[in-house]
Amino acid sequence: MVIHGGCWTKGYETLAGTAPLASALTDKGVATWNIEYRQVGDTRGGWPGTFQDWGAALDHLRVLARTQPLDLKHVVTVGHSAGAHAALWLAARPRLPADSEVRGADPLKVSAAVAIDGPGDLRTLYGFDKEICGRPIFVNLFGGAPDAQAGRYRQANPIEWLPLAVPQFMVASVVLEPSAAQAYAAAAQSAGDKATVITLENAGHFNMLSPADPTWAPVEAAILAAAKAEQ
């Protein structure tokens, strides 16, 4: 399952941005599900709609598996930027409280998650979101600051639900800086999870999404390793 980024906000990115990545994986024999979802600026985008859409898209694989040759025991979430947060959050979703409005009744469990240049710990980006995205994002995404919407921030933050009980691959570049990726991986490993950091040098934020770019090779390798990873 492939999830595009775009600062969680309408007008930045669409699934077209991750289409080359999805197509390259398909060429390798990997079934891909490149999704679209509501974002801030869409009706009920942000909280809870964005998270509900991510969950609904993942759970819809059960429907697709009725007619397509899908192995639901080996589902990997792959996301870029804000989609990287989604990839990790979907791995964490089964750990959310049963009464959470974004969890869903029966979350499909993933087998691994790949976060490409996006956060696993939202709190480290709070206050820097304006610098990264050109405008404040999290206040609009969650309907308030962390002190006003503490429950929402916690439910949305993958690092607060460790261990996720699946391997996690962190691709570090400019938004997910190497130090932040290593800090997340250390927390995951301390909690008992398998976590791997892949650091890209001089890759920018988007180059690694293009199969024609040299930085694609380590990203592809990480995704294929995730597909084969043992929990």
Reply yes or no on whether the pLDDT at 223 is more than 80.
Answer: yes
29 Rama class: left (phi>0) / alpha (psi -120 to 50) / beta: left
4-33 confidence digits (pLDDT tens): 999 999 999 999 999 999 999 999 999 999
The answer for residues whose C-beta is within 8 angstroms of residue 216's C-beta and 6 or more apart is: 21, 24, 207, 208, 209, 210
> Once rounded to an integer, what is the mean pLDDT over residues 92-96?
98
What percentage of the chain exceeds 90 in pLDDT?
92
**Per-residue model confidence (pLDDT) at position 20:** 97
CA 177 to chain centre: 16
Reply yes or no on whether the pLDDT at 43 is more than 70.
Answer: yes
Residue 178 in tokens: 């190497």
Residue with more model confidence, 126 or 119:
119
- C-alpha 108/C-alpha 59 separation (Å) is 5
> Once rounded to an integer, what is the mean pLDDT over residues 54-83?
97
**Per-residue model confidence (pLDDT) at position 217:** 96
The architecture CATH gives domain 2-228: 3-Layer(aba) Sandwich (3.40)
157-216 confidence digits (pLDDT tens): 999 999 999 999 999 999 999 999 999 999 999 999 999 999 999 999 999 999 999 999
**Per-residue model confidence (pLDDT) at position 127:** 82
**Per-residue model confidence (pLDDT) at position 230:** 65
**Per-residue model confidence (pLDDT) at position 124:** 87
- The pTM score is 0.97
